[in-house]
Amino acid sequence: MSKKTKVTTPMGIVYSRLRKNKMAVGALFILLFFILISLFAPLLSPYDRDQVDMANAYQKPSAEHWLGTDDLGRDTFTRLVYGGRVSLSVGLVSTAISLLIGVFLGAIAGYAGGWVDNLIMRIVDVVMCFPFFVIAIAIAAVLGPSIYNVMFISGILSWTRICRIVRAEVMAIKGREFIEAAVSLGLESWEIIVKHILPNILAPIIVYATLGIATGILSEAGLSFLGLGVKQPQPSWGNMLASAQSLRSLRLHWWLWITPGLMVLTTILSINILGDGLRDAFDPKLKR
């Protein structure tokens, strides 16, 4: 009897490689854990998110308040898990905005070439000339502090890298035989890009999307720390750090800044490790 030939799909190879990367798998589970506790925040804490109790302000961590209370007597753990909703959603939405802009313009530039490519790339060069946080602070000062403004600002200022990546990938793939066959069959340019080119360059897009979420979370934390991001009383990891920046809190109330700082650090580190794991898994040149 002849042995059955095992058919392995490209995504199956990627999954197998990623599964062997213990650090990437661990980072993925950490991220999933943070997402779950953020989603089920109302079930994890008996306190209301904005419940003020001045009689219990600056309480140390205890059985009643696991991570203590802040200057208004609000439960720190409750605000931390609710803040995860805000910070993670900013990362996801801002990355989605940057992907929509960057992939769209990069695909057009790479496929069309000529003056269209030159025009789009000059726009990219102009946007990349300005420091991210300088422009972000200026726009946030004009629009005002808001979670939606943070998503918008981070998204419209972060699309240039993925635009360059997609343009390079499209230029490398558009001269291949299957694309020429699609052109000879009379397919429209948008059909060729959407149905034949983009599915073949998903690997770098997925890796960028993973790392872009980390950039969005850092942007929210930075803008909220400066008072230009998410407004109180809605909590986020950034404005929780901002509210604990006084010297008194830094010296005496460590639970107000260590816990949101650790959440930001652990989330960003996990995303970067997962992004590196995905990059290695999608790279066909790697043997390990």
Instruction: Return the domain boundaries, the chain.
Output: 75-282
pLDDT 10s digits, 202-226: 888 888 888 888 888 888 888 888 8
pLDDT 10s digits, 167-214: 999 998 888 888 888 888 878 888 888 888 888 888 888 888 888 888
DSSP string, the chain: -PPPPPP--HHHHHHHHHHH-HHHHHHHHHHHHHHHHHHTHHHH-SS-TT---GGGTTPPS-SSSTT-B-TT--BHHHHHHHHHHHHHHHHHHHHHHHHHHHHHHHHHHHHH-HHHHHHHHHHHHHHHHS-HHHHHHHHHHHH-S-HHHHHHHHHHTS-HHHHHHHHHHHHHHTTSHHHHHHHHTT--HHHHIIIIIGGGGHHHHHHHHHHHHHHHHHHHHHHHHTTSSSPTTS--HHHHHHHT-SHHHHHH-THHHHHHHHHHHHHHHHHHHHHHHHHHHH-TT---
- Per-residue pLDDT band at 8 (split at 50, 70, 90): low
- The pLDDT of residue 288 is 47
- Does residue 231 register a pLDDT over 90? no
Mean pLDDT over each residue of the chain, to the nearest integer: 86
- Does residue 251 register a pLDDT over 80? yes
CATH number corresponding to 75-282 = 1.10.3720.10
Q: What percent of the chain has pLDDT over 90?
A: 27
Q: What percent of the chain has pLDDT over 70?
A: 95
- The pLDDT of residue 7 is 47
- The pLDDT of residue 9 is 73
- The top-scoring range by mean pLDDT among 15-19, 60-64, 118-122 is 118-122
- The pLDDT of residue 1 is 43
CB atoms within 10 A of CB 106: 29
- The pLDDT of residue 177 is 85
- The pLDDT of residue 247 is 79
